[in-house]
Structure 1
Amino acid sequence: MKIKIVGAAGGEVTGSSYLIETANAKVMVDAGMFQGGRNTEEKNRLPEGTDPKILDALLLTHAHLDHTGRIPLLLKNGFKNTIYATDATIDLAEIVLKDSAKIQEQDAARKNRYHPERHVEPLYTPNDTLSFRSQCQTVELHQHIPVADGITARFFEAGHMLGSTSIELTVHEKGKTHVVVFSGDLGPIDQPILRPFEQLPHADLVFMESTYGNRDHRPYNETIKEFEEIILKAVESKGKILIPAFAIGRTQQILYHLAILFVQKKVRHFPVFVDSPMAIRAGKVFAEHPDLFDEEATDWKRQGLLPLDRNWFQFCVSMEESKQLNSIEGPCVILAGAGMCNAGRIQHHLKFNLPHQETQVLIVGYQGSGSLGRQLVDGATQVKIHGETIPVRAQIHTLNGFSAHAGQSDLLKWFSSLGQMKPKVVLTHGENLQRETLADQIEKKYGLKPLLPELNETVEI
């Protein structure tokens, strides 16, 4: 069996994808899009060595774009077989892919307007997403599911986002059986709304994420305290609070805490705008899957706070509604995508509000190398948005405690059930410092030396 790592390797976090090849089958786990600067996004093409026409199955850990964004390329190039994922992942991935296809078209059209001599085609179009749902098959957690000749899959809760999973593949080949585990993205144990990750029982080979492998996040209760202080300060100064948030997961998490603030009367109610059609659609999916909530979220739901309570929040669907927010005075909160500020409506709000000292920008998630969000986190005094140089006078706050990724301690806890078995370990989905630090910890605790692969490297078992 050969497993080629065709994304999220070589110190790259995004683009997660693995191509598994046995004597009898070819299966892919995830087909994510690379996100970040121009050099990173130029990698968005069919994974090297992949012929979608002969791919037996595609398995998805979860719906985020960096794990699903190249699916339309597979469909466009002849993939006709089954996509396996949880019900919530299918619902959310359909939203993500349709939005991504629309953005691909818009970006290509914009480039062609400004540089008609360099005509570019969109990576894919909405037509390339049409067969996605019909090719999907819903999986239940913990069930053994035959996905290809000699390959059976089981899915386990990963606690990262609604419907997220880790995947266990049991591979029978040439009279031998091997168990290969893909962690997917793992969530922190204390993340609200979602159930925590599950530990897996056995593995001969583990592919494990390492996004925050070098550190733990700030304790969640301290993060909430800081979040409340920023909100109170902005209300007093009548400033705008801009929150670039991933439409699925992070937006619902922030709204959850704002609603609790209002209910507990820690702050008087002020306008909160959800400027993301995708987040609004995702909120409806959350409402359809209350069985995936943890106990605390279930209790708040009984009080009417989930997923998007119109008593507290206002929703902007059209571009005209979004533009009108420029004339709104603070205090107010504007949540808009994209989470790394590399596209979407948040760029327009940043362009308009970064020059103002009373503006507060809350960075509440991972910011890929080269992204606009990373520039703000790194203290840039000016940034380029839509070709214009914008001065940064706003206050930038980084609240990593809101991260949907497990920190080092939680990563090691997830691995602890497998580490005693001395599996081969491959660390992906992390920048070099993060995965090197996590590799050192695993070596100290278990005597294992994890592999830190380069893009398109192959692991054999």
Structure 2
Amino acid sequence: MATITFHGAAQEVTGSCHLLESPALGRVLLDCGLHQGGDAVERLHEETLPFDPHAIDAVVLSHAHLDHSGRLPLLVNRGFDGPIHCTEATVDLLELMLEDAAGLYLRDLERSNLRNRRRGKPLRKADYSRTDVHKALKLCQPHAYGDTWSLGPEATVCFHDAGHILGSAIVEITLTEKTQRKTLVFSGDLGKSDAVLMNDPTPLTHADLVMMEGTYGDRNHRSMDNTLAQLGEILTDTWARGGNVMIPSFAVGRTQEILFHLGRLHQQGALDNWQIFLDSPMAIKATRLYDRWFKLLDHNDVKHIRRSHHNALVDFLPNLNCAVSTDESMAINRVKAGAIIIAGSGMCTGGRIRHHFKQRIWNARNTLLFIGFQARNTLGRQLVDGARHIKLFQEDYVVKARIETLGGFSAHADQSELMRWIGHFEGSPRVVLVHGEPKALDTLSHKLWTENQRKCEIPAEGQSLVF
């Protein structure tokens, strides 16, 4: 019998990691993600791998976001040397994500050890190195959407477009145990059905067990028309106040979508004279990767770029300034008004956005605009929940900037879209809900039962199930 043990994203939205064991395929990890929130050095030091990395035969990766891929270098450091299966575009994005995360982690570790040295405390060793990142990347084996390939002696896998970010995949695994065929479908992160640049998530019809994410299982997003109207109102109001707009954004996915919409506003003559700064070297590189992979993206939205005789998202928005170096980032501080600053990280757990908070979050003329989900224990969640005082770089800051959230920009399917996607499955497959906070998963489970008589299971971290 096959067994699945949940080692992350179980009643939480970060740290996706599920161990699938069966004689048909050996021991395979579905994702190997990092938990987010808190100090980066402490967080990684506390990350555990509650299994023997040497005994893992392969990793099947749904997409490149760090909460699904961030523990790969740690896994390699602890002895894993098997294949990492993912889509072709994910290989390109993974290089950006893991290299950037390693750089931030090692710099934070250096600063932490500098403080420890001054205080006479023991120094902390790195939990992984750039060498581990490079080894993890070399282990990647890319596959195209729709191709079926072997995983173990009696198992096959097929990736389908999840519509979440570039290269994101729904994982379909078919295995045979004692002549009995079983199909497991792991949704990964499902995208919205109307997301610009991305295709709709692929509907599947057959499974014996479905592991589905439920990030927004308790709510529906605002319509895109209403969201864009809200964006316009926020920009107009902030412009009139003589302020700036700070947008914490995930380098992959949310950044490209907000750039697209700002580009549309510019093309329509409705962007005033805002100076727009993309202050994230990784987001800049990721945007260029999106340009390279346009063939995978939503053709109707890409037409808007082509129609304007532009060949790239960056060119689609000519008043965009890309800040790569630290000096270019710091120069943004000299702009006193009329700046839209897009910077990582998306949940404000690190990156350059925190430096912009230091310069502007205490000024009531400014606006802090969230366009993505904020997980528990992150600075972004504290701000969304109304925190009026925050700590940055060992100093306290008063929060006076206006806080706004644009729910329609989420990269995740909402409740109605999750219901629609699971509704395509014929019969009564076993349904397991992951990647969501307890309230969201409980609400989704209740709705699936009352409206569709689909019974759901919500595993806790460390729990196993047999199928």
Tell me if 1:254 matches 2:255.
no
Match of 2:348 among 341, 356, 375: 341
Distance 1:222 1:361 in 2: 19
Residues 32-41 or 61-70, more deviating: 32-41
Q: Paired residue for 2:461?
A: 455
Does 2:243 correspond to 1:239?
yes
The answer to whether the 8 Å contact 1:256/1:306 transfers is no
* 1:338-364 superposed Cα distances (whole Å, 9 cap, x missing partner): 000110100010111011011111011
Task: Kindly report which structure 2 residues correspond to 1:311-322, keeping only aligned pairs within 5 A, or say none.
Answer: 311-322=318-329
Contact 2:347 2:380 in 1 (8 A): yes
In structure 1, the partner of 2:213 is 209
- Correspondence for 1:172: 176
- Partner deviation per Cα, 1:372-402 (whole Å, 9 max, x = no partner): 1111111111111111110001001011111
- Read off the aligned partner of 1:382 and give its amino acid letter: H
1-side partners of 2:454 and 2:264: how far apart?
44
Count the aligned residue pairs. Answer: 458
Q: Distance in 2 between matches of 1:209 and 1:344?
A: 27
* Corresponding residue for residue 68 of structure 1: 69
- Closer, same or farther: CA 442–269 of 1 in aligned 2, 3 Å: same
Q: Which moved more, 1:72-81 or 1:256-265?
A: 72-81
What is the one-letter code of the residue matched to 1:344?
G
Moved more, 254-263 or 266-275: 266-275
2:100 is aligned to 99
Cα distance in 2 for partners of 1:414, 1:6 equals 25
Displacement over 4 Å in runs of 4+: none
User: For residue 373 of structure 2, what is the aligned residue in structure 1?
Assistant: 366
State how 1:50-61 maps to structure 2 within 5 Å: 51-61=52-62
Percent identity between matched residues is 38
How far 1:115 sits from its partner (Å)?
A: 2.3
Q: 1:336 to 1:90 in 2, by over 3 A?
A: same
The TM-score normalised by the length of structure 2 is 0.95
The superposition leaves residues 392-449 of structure 1 with CA deviations (integer Å, 9 ceiling, x where unpaired) of: 010010111110011000001110112x421111111000100000000111233232
**Counterpart code for 1:387:** Q
Q: Are 1:406 and 2:410 matched, yes or no?
A: no
**Matching of residues 246-285 of structure 1 within 5 Å:** 246-285=250-289
Shift of 1:38: 5.5
Contact 1:34 1:43 in 2 (8 A): no
In the alignment, which residue of structure 1 is the partner of 2:358?
Answer: 351
RMSD: 1.6
Amino acid paired to 2:441: R
Taking the aligned partners of 1:306 and 1:401, their CA distance within structure 2 comes to: 24
Displacement of 1:43 after TM fit? 8.0
The 10-residue stretch of structure 1 (230-239 or 370-379) with the greater mean CA deviation from structure 2: 230-239
1:441 counterpart residue number: 447
1:417 has 2:419 as partner: no
Q: Does the alignment pair 1:140 with 2:144?
A: yes
Q: Which residue of 1 is the match for residue 165 of structure 2?
A: 161
| Contact kept? 2:109, 2:126, Cα under 8 Å | yes
Query: Residues 46 and 70 of structure 1 are in contact (CA less than 8 Å); yes or no, is this contact kept in structure 2?
Result: no
- Go from structure 1 to structure 2 and tell me whether the alpha carbon gap of 1:289 and 1:44 turns closer, same or farther (over 3 Å shift): farther
Counterpart check, 1:327 vs 2:334: yes
Measure, in 2, the Cα distance between the counterparts of 1:118 and 1:439: 48
Q: Who is 1:19 aligned against? A: 19
Residue segments in structure 2 that go unaligned for 5+ positions in a row: none
Provide the rounded CA distance (Å) in 2 between the counterparts of 1:421 and 1:85.
29
Amino acid at match of 1:292: L
2:394 aligns to what? 387
393-402 or 140-149, larger mean C-alpha shift: 140-149
Q: Quote the Cα distance in structure 2 between the aligned partners of 1:238 and 1:79.
A: 53
Q: Report the counterpart of residue 299 of structure 1 in structure 2.
A: 303
Deviation at 1:174, TM superposition (A): 2.3
CA deviations on 1:144-169 (whole Å, 9 max, x unpaired) are 11022212101111111111110011
- Counterpart of 2:97 in structure 1: which amino acid? V
- Give yes or no for the alignment of 1:224 onto 2:228: yes
CA distance in 2 between partners of 1:72 and 1:37 (Å):
20
* TM-score using structure 1 length: 0.96
Q: 1:305 and 1:440, CA in 2 relative to 1: closer, same or farther beyond 3 A? A: farther
Query: Given that residues 37 and 369 in structure 1 are in contact (C-alpha distance below 8 angstroms), is that contact kept between their aligned partners in structure 2?
Result: no
Distance 1:89 1:204 in 2: 27
Which blocks of at least 5 consecutive residues in structure 1 are unaligned?
none
Amino acid at match of 1:343: G
Contact 1:365 1:404 in 2 (8 A): yes
